[in-house]
Amino acid sequence: MREYLLTLCVTVAVTYLLTGPVRKFAIAAGAMPEIRARDVHREPTPRLGGIAMFGGLCAGLLVADHLQNLNAVFEKSNEPRALLSGAALIWLIGVLDDKFEIDALIKLGAQMISAGVMVMQGLTILWIPVPFIGTVPLTQWQGNLLTVALVVITINAVNFVDGLDGLAAGMVCIAAAALFLYAYRIWFGYGIESAAPATLFAAILMGMCLGFLPHNMHPARIFMGDSGSMLIGLVLAAAAISLTGQVDPDALALFAGGERNATHAMLPAYIPLILPLTVIAIPMADLVLAIVRRTWKGQSPFAADRGHLHHRLLELGHSHSRAVLIMYFWSGLIAFGTVAYSVHSAAMWIVLVIAVLSAVGLFLLLLPRFTPRTPAWAERLVPPRYRHATRAAEAAAEAAAQDASGAEPQPARPITAGVSGVNGATAVGPRSRFPERRKAESTR
* pLDDT tens-digit series, residues 274-295: 433 455 666 666 667 777 777 7
pLDDT for residue 65 is more than 60:
yes
pLDDT score recorded for residue 23: 93
For residues 444 and 439, what is the distance between their CA atoms, to the nearest angstrom? 9
pLDDT score recorded for residue 62: 95
Helix intervals (H) in 121-224: 140-161, 167-184, 196-216
pLDDT for residue 176 is more than 60:
yes
pLDDT digits (tens, 9 = 90+) for 184-233: 888 777 777 888 898 999 999 999 999 999 998 888 889 998 999 999 99
Highest mean pLDDT among 50-59, 132-141, 303-312, 328-337: 50-59
- Spell 197-230 as b/e; 16+ CB within 10 A means b: bbbbbbbbbbbbbbbbbebbbeebebbbbbbbbb
Q: How many other C-beta atoms are found inside a 10 Å radius of the C-beta of residue 403? A: 14
Q: pLDDT tier at 53 (50, 70, 90 boundaries)?
A: very high
Q: pLDDT tier at 332 (50, 70, 90 boundaries)?
A: confident
| Predicted structure pTM score | 0.72
Highest mean pLDDT among 13-22, 139-148, 233-242: 13-22
Q: Do residues 53 and 224 touch, judged by C-beta distance below 8 A?
A: yes
pLDDT score recorded for residue 324: 82
Torsion, CA 279, CA 282, CA 284, CA 286, rounded to 10: -170
The set of residues, in sequence order, having a beta carbon less than 8 Å from that of 234 and lying 6+ positions away, is 86, 87, 90, 111, 114, 115, 151, 154, 155
For residues 183 and 181, what is the distance between their CA atoms, to the nearest angstrom? 6
Q: Which amino acid is at 293?
A: R
Mean of the pLDDT values across residues 160-167? 80
pLDDT for residue 81 is more than 90:
yes
pLDDT digits (tens, 9 = 90+) for 225-270: 899 999 999 999 998 888 876 666 666 655 555 555 555 555 544 5
pLDDT score recorded for residue 421: 38
Mean of the pLDDT values across residues 131-144? 78
pLDDT score recorded for residue 362: 77
Q: pLDDT tier at 354 (50, 70, 90 boundaries)?
A: confident
Q: Exposed, middle or buried by CB within 10 Å (0-12, 13-18, 19+), for 37?
A: exposed
Mean of the pLDDT values across residues 45-71? 92
What average pLDDT is seen over the chain?
A: 76
